[in-house]
A and B are shown apart, each in its own frame.
Chain A
Amino acid sequence: MFLAWNEMKNNKLRFTLIVGVLLLVSYLVFLLSGLANGLEDMNKAAVDKWEAQGVILTEESDVNLPQSSLSLEDYDGEGADEFASLAQISSIATSGDNKSNVALFGIHADEFIMPDITEGETFQNDNEVVADASLKEEGFELGDELQLASTEEKLTIVGFTDNAKFIAAPVLYTDLQTVHKVRYGEAAEMYKEQINAFVIRTDDLSNVDVKEALEVVDTTTFIENLPGYSEQKLTLNFMIYFLFVISAVVLAIFLYVLTIQKISIFGVMKAQGISSKYLANSVIAQTFLLAAAGVVLGFLLTMVTGFFLPDIVPIAFNYLDLLLYGIVLVFVSVLGALFSIQTIVKIDPLKAIGG
């Protein structure tokens, strides 16, 4: 540490540049991680809110909620601690100049997927909805009358709830009848038993007994099959993983060049009897300090950026993930230093002193 620290103190510009590169890499990793989380939340926040372990869908739906069509009579709660009915359609809601994609969730207000109300009240009558609070940022207010695309039905916002997005669209919670009216128009009465899924809470999904042609899907699988969810997640995660490799390679190159520049002085030190182990430890300590400084500064810059980003940017930081990514960045950076250590071990002190 003594050599590492003093070298950095006396070559501030050089090492500041290295820390700067690591800062930028970690900043990008942290921002991507925040974006990945934010996008995940946008897709599944409403599902997380259920705190459910499984979903019952038709087998032919291929775990696609809108494609699943079943009847309220199809499941009686066997094997589940609790269950809730869900009818879902997607639409576009307009109120004056405000327009937004929405996911309409038809539910029974007395079942567990009814969300907590953060403002206003719960829906009591047909055509009343509790909306995700993000709609407020788009200009929607309590009491607004919503015109939905492709239907004559008008809905009224009577309450707001938070963190209720489904496939990036704010959720409107309402009763089943309203969803049927929106979906089937005048034929709603004929389809009043029709829903898309049952959401279930249970300790053991294998105990849930369903009719033929239905399947029980655990919540994780259900989320992973949301349209575009896995692809989006994989893409961002790949970017993060590549950044780990890039940071290791960048730091390895920097340290290797620095080591090459110091071959003669390392050689002289080895001639004097200073062991390769001491010199290698010094390089590792230096790499650790540089990487840790870059990661900490990258984290701080990420937090500042997060603070100033507009709410429309889907960013959500999971601090445990950030800690893990930070540790991985430091670790891969130290791995990158191994090239330099190999060089140090191979330095022949004889050549260094011109023998």
Chain B
Amino acid sequence: MAVLEMKQVRKIFGSGHTEVEALKPTDFSSQQGELIAVIGPSGSGKSTFLTIAGGLQTPTSGQVFMNGTDITKLKEKQRSAIRLKEIGFVLQSSNLVPFLNVKQQMRLLDKVKKHNLPSEKLQELYQTLGIHKLLNSFPSDLSGGEKQRVAIAKALYTDPSIILADEPTASLDSDRAFEVMEMLQEITTKSNKTTIVVTHDTRLIDYCDKVYQITDGRLALQTEQAQS
């Protein structure tokens, strides 16, 4: 079963002469262990695609299945619960709470969701992401790369089946950007997650199993690499 599946998903904003078709009828499917890039220029519909995939907005028509559940039929409260359980977001700007240190960022998730990663797994994650020495640091004390690694840890801590990353390397220099992509690749493979990275940075596509191009709201598979 596909972890995330879209069937004829279409999104229209506005009406009449202000109508804009941000996402043309789209079919999309992703499996466990896949790292997928969706690339395209600004205004191409990348964010619309990602937010519909993440249950942050509903499509005008079509269906979005997350682990078999059609989330387009759910109310916001139910979609919110699904987001918490199934999706880990890594956002363009840091998604860290400014007044919580790294350890507390994870504890916040403990307060709202049970059955997160066990302690030993979390320590392992800290080690993997190289943030084990930053646990008492606040976001303002971290560099852009460190923030992004903590954001990845936060996204993974709830043990989601899908990781949605929106321009995760936008604020990073090339070395840090590649480092983050390597981590996402490793985590996707090791933990059998589905990771979808939305980016306009074509240098990142080498790390991905599938690359989709989105242009004027039309999503098309560009390349598919053979699984190693």
One of B57, B97, B108, B113 near A355 (C-beta < 8 A): B57
The answer to the question of A125 belonging to the interface, with a C-beta cut-off of 8 Å to chain B, is: no
Docked pose: A272 CA to B89 CA in angstroms: 6
Q: Which residue of B lies closest to A268 (CB)?
A: B95
Chain B contacts of A265 at CB under 8 A? 97-98
- Among B48, B82, B108, max chain A CB count under 10 A is at B108
Does the CB pair A273–B82 fall under 8 Å? Answer: yes
The answer to the question of A336 belonging to the interface, with a C-beta cut-off of 8 Å to chain B, is: no
Stretch at the interface among B2-10, B99-107, B118-126, B189-197: B99-107
Contact residues, A185-241 vs B (CB, 8 A)? none
Total residue contacts A-B, CB cutoff 8 A: 76
Docked pose: A11 CA to B100 CA in angstroms: 11
Docked pose: A11 CA to B112 CA in angstroms: 23
Docked pose: A9 CA to B101 CA in angstroms: 12
Docked pose: A9 CA to B56 CA in angstroms: 32
4 closest Cβ contacts across the A-B interface?
A273-B84, A273-B83, A10-B99, A355-B51
The answer to the question of B203 belonging to the interface, with a C-beta cut-off of 8 Å to chain A, is: no
A57 nearest CB across to chain B (Å): 66
Not counting A3-B100, A275-B80, a sample of 13 additional A-B residue pairs whose C-beta atoms are within 8 angstroms of each other reads A2-B104, A3-B111, A9-B99, A268-B95, A270-B80, A273-B82, A273-B87, A273-B113, A274-B84, A275-B81, A355-B47, A355-B51, A355-B56
The answer to the question of A349 belonging to the interface, with a C-beta cut-off of 8 Å to chain B, is: yes
The answer to the question of B146 belonging to the interface, with a C-beta cut-off of 8 Å to chain A, is: no
Docked pose: A269 CA to B166 CA in angstroms: 15
Does the CB pair A353–B51 fall under 8 Å? Answer: yes
Chain B contacts of A10 at CB under 8 A? 98-100, 138
B40 nearest CB across to chain A (Å): 14
The answer to the question of A350 belonging to the interface, with a C-beta cut-off of 8 Å to chain B, is: yes
Docked pose: A304 CA to B177 CA in angstroms: 60
Q: List 18 A-B contacts (CB under 8 A).
A: A6-B99, A10-B98, A10-B100, A265-B98, A268-B91, A270-B80, A271-B89, A271-B91, A272-B83, A274-B84, A275-B77, A275-B80, A350-B57, A353-B56, A353-B89, A353-B91, A353-B95, A354-B166
The answer to the question of B168 belonging to the interface, with a C-beta cut-off of 8 Å to chain A, is: no
Q: Given known contacts A273-B80, A353-B89, is B104 in contact with A6 (CB within 8 Å)?
A: yes
Q: Give 1 or 0 for each of B8-36: 1 = CB within 8 Å of chain A CB.
A: 00000000000000000000000000000
The answer to the question of B59 belonging to the interface, with a C-beta cut-off of 8 Å to chain A, is: no
Chain A contacts of B172 at CB under 8 A? none
Docked pose: A282 CA to B100 CA in angstroms: 14
B180 nearest CB across to chain A (Å): 18
Chain B contacts of A6 at CB under 8 A? 99-100, 104
Q: Given known contacts A10-B138, A275-B112, A278-B111, is B97 in contact with A269 (CB within 8 Å)?
A: yes
Q: Give 1 or 0 for each of A1-15: 1 = CB within 8 Å of chain B CB.
A: 011001101110000
Chain B contacts of A2 at CB under 8 A? 104, 107-108, 111
**Which residues of A are in contact with B by a Cβ distance under 8 Å?**
2-3, 6-7, 9-11, 265, 268-275, 278, 349-350, 353-355
Q: Which residue of A lies closest to B56 (CB)?
A: A350
Docked pose: A353 CA to B93 CA in angstroms: 8
Chain A contacts of B82 at CB under 8 A? 273
B200 nearest CB across to chain A (Å): 13
Does the CB pair A3–B108 fall under 8 Å? Answer: yes
The answer to the question of B92 belonging to the interface, with a C-beta cut-off of 8 Å to chain A, is: yes
Docked pose: A354 CA to B87 CA in angstroms: 18
The answer to the question of B183 belonging to the interface, with a C-beta cut-off of 8 Å to chain A, is: no
Does the CB pair B50–A355 fall under 8 Å? Answer: yes
B57 nearest CB across to chain A (Å): 5
Chain B contacts of A350 at CB under 8 A? 51, 56-57
Chain A contacts of B112 at CB under 8 A? 273-275, 278
B46 nearest CB across to chain A (Å): 10
Does the CB pair B80–A3 fall under 8 Å? Answer: no
Docked pose: A272 CA to B91 CA in angstroms: 10
Does the CB pair A272–B99 fall under 8 Å? Answer: no
Q: Which residue of A lies closest to B167 (CB)?
A: A354
